[in-house]
């Protein structure tokens, strides 16, 4: 209860500054009432969804939108705050100066300047509009990113081999069947030799995938569709009545993947063969540094793999690559991960800038990286979680072509 009280106080203080800017720029009381009404509606809906909902910690689309609107409104006010607070400091010292060096007896603080408040609102409108755009358009702005990776020891039979990687579906957040169907068709259009899904099919519960099972079950490739589990697939982030119910939830999700035609690798490996040659596909359960689940067992997953095999590893969390894979005795030529979502927010201009706040937590957070002669691709994710949108970091379908020859990178 205390945390909700603190949250409301903080919200009101931040909104008060935003209201000051609105009141300074416009003297129309109906605009003032509109700002107050929107603020109360947003915070009220957020409290209803998160404090009074019977769903507990299950993150439904309605909860995501409640969070998204709250985030947008608070960011709008937060961006204005430095302008207005800075002006308040100047106004205060101007009042002190006037009190000390003028004949006036009363302490007087100059009024806010309309010019400063107008600038504050204009600047704050940019991230506010961006977050709203991300909620209604950005999250469905699917991009196909194509890479060509060269390997000296790639078996000749796999020269030109095409992999489509998708990750972080988070089906429990979906709210538009037409847009998701478009994205699934986009995956099918790539006509890759194999499709690899690197975890987080749901937010919490296996039932979230049921409305989308038939759609994603349409995915197929000559060499199959393979998958691994992500941290959200275990159901760790909600409360279960019994441990048995949680265990059954995971078993149900495994069965759903089987029904869809996904070959789920649970610390296992498979061989893909062509013309008497083969590449090894290894899939580990989730392994993440910090407080994330560490069920991934690389040694077990690779026990039937020969050191000389060309290896493709599926591991949901890229921190596994940093902490374990690169240090392993085996040489894993290509690792495919997801998990970070690129934080669903950032700036990417190819060849110039690639930035997101997630880089402060993850060294490898989006795209292709190379260390010690080994590659990792961190997929930016197919779906979204929490904030129901994307700004600058768009939903991704990755297509990687393997080529025989000197190691170069093109995208």
Domain boundary among 136, 151, 180: 136
**Domain tally, the chain:** 2
Residue 410, pLDDT > 50, answer no
The mean pLDDT value of the chain amounts to 93
Instruction: Note down the domain range covering 33.
Output: 2-136
Predicted local distance difference test score (pLDDT) of residue 56: 67
Whether 149 and 254 map to the same domain: the answer is yes
Task: Answer yes or no: do 17 and 37 share one domain.
Answer: yes
Q: Same structural domain for residues 267 and 294?
A: yes
Among residues 113, 136, 159, which one ends one of the domains? 136
195 and 160 within one domain:
yes
111 with 195, same domain? no
117 and 156 part of one domain: no
Three-point CA angle 59, 65, 67, nearest 5° = 75
Q: Is 223 helix (H, G, I), strand (E, B) or coil?
A: coil
User: 116 with 145, same domain?
Assistant: no
b/e sequence 163-174, b meaning 16+ C-beta within 10 Å: bbbbbbbbbbbb
Same domain, 120 and 235: no
Q: Does 25 score more than 60 pLDDT?
A: yes
CB atoms within 10 A of CB 265: 20
Give whole-number Cα distances, 112 to 90, 148, 402, in Å: 10, 57, 62
Average pLDDT (209-219) is 97
Q: How many CB atoms lie within 10 A of CB 12?
A: 12
What's residue 58's pLDDT? 76
In whole angstroms, give the CA distance from residue 21 to residue 31. 12
Last residue of a domain, one of 110, 136, 162: 136
Same domain, residue pair 104 and 237: no
CATH of the domain at 381: 3.60.21.10
HSE (CB half, 13 Å, CA atoms) of 151? 26
- Picking from 54-58, 174-178, 336-340, which range would have the lowest pLDDT averaged per residue? 54-58
Same domain, 302 and 283: yes
What's the full length of the chain, in residues? Answer: 411
Average pLDDT over residues 5-33: 93
Reported as a single tens digit per residue, the pLDDT across 41-69 is 999 999 999 887 666 677 888 999 999 99
Asked whether residue 82 falls in the same domain as residue 186, the answer is no
Is residue 335 within 8 Å of residue 304, measured between CB atoms? Answer: no
What is the average per-residue pLDDT within 189-198?
98
pLDDT on residue 105: 64
Residues 104 and 22 in one domain: yes
């Amino acid at each position: 209860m205390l945390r909700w009280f603190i949250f409301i106080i903080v919200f009101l203080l931040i909104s008060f500054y935003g209201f000051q800017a609105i009141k300074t720029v416009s003297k129309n009381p109906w605009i003032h009432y509109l700002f107050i009404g929107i603020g109360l509606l947003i915070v009220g809906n957020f409290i209803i969804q998160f404090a009074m909902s019977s769903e507990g910690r299950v993150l439904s689309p309605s909860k995501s939108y409640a969070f998204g609107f709250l985030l947008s409104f608070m960011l709008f006010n937060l961006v204005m705050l430095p302008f207005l607070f800075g002006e308040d400091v100047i106004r205060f010292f101007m009042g002190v100066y006037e009190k000390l060096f003028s004949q006036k007896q009363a302490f007087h603080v100059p009024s806010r300047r309309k010019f400063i408040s107008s600038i504050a609102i204009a600047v704050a409108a940019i991230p506010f509009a961006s977050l709203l755009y991300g909620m209604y358009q950005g999250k469905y702005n699917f991009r196909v990113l194509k890479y060509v990776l060269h390997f000296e020891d790639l078996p000749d039979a796999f020269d030109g081999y095409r992999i489509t990687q998708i990750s972080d579906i988070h089906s429990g957040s979906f709210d538009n069947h037409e847009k998701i169907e478009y994205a699934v068709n986009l995956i099918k259009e790539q006509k890759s030799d194999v499709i690899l899904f690197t975890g987080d099919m749901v937010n919490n519960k296996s039932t979230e995938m049921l409305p989308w099972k038939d759609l994603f079950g349409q995915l197929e490739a000559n060499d199959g569709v393979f998958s691994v589990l992500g941290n959200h697939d275990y159901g760790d982030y909600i409360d279960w009545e019994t441990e048995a119910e949680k265990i059954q939830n995971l078993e149900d999700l495994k069965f759903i993947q089987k029904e869809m035609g996904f070959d789920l690798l649970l610390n296992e490996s498979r061989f893909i063969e062509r013309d008497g040659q083969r590449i090894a596909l290894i899939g580990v359960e989730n392994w993440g540094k910090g407080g994330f689940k560490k069920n991934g067992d690389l040694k077990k997953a690779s026990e039937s793999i020969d050191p000389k095999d060309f290896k493709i590893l599926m591991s949901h969390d890229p921190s596994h690559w940093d902490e374990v894979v690169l240090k392993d005795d085996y040489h894993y030529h290509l690792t495919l991960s997801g998990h970070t979502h690129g934080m669903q927010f950032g700036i990417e201009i190819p060849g110039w800038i690639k930035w997101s706040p997630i880089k402060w937590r993850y060294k490898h957070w989006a795209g292709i990286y190379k260390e010690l002669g080994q590659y990792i691709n961190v997929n930016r994710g197919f779906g979204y979680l929490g904030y129901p949108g994307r700004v600058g970091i768009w939903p991704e379908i990755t297509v990687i072509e393997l080529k025989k020859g000197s190691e170069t990178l093109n995208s």
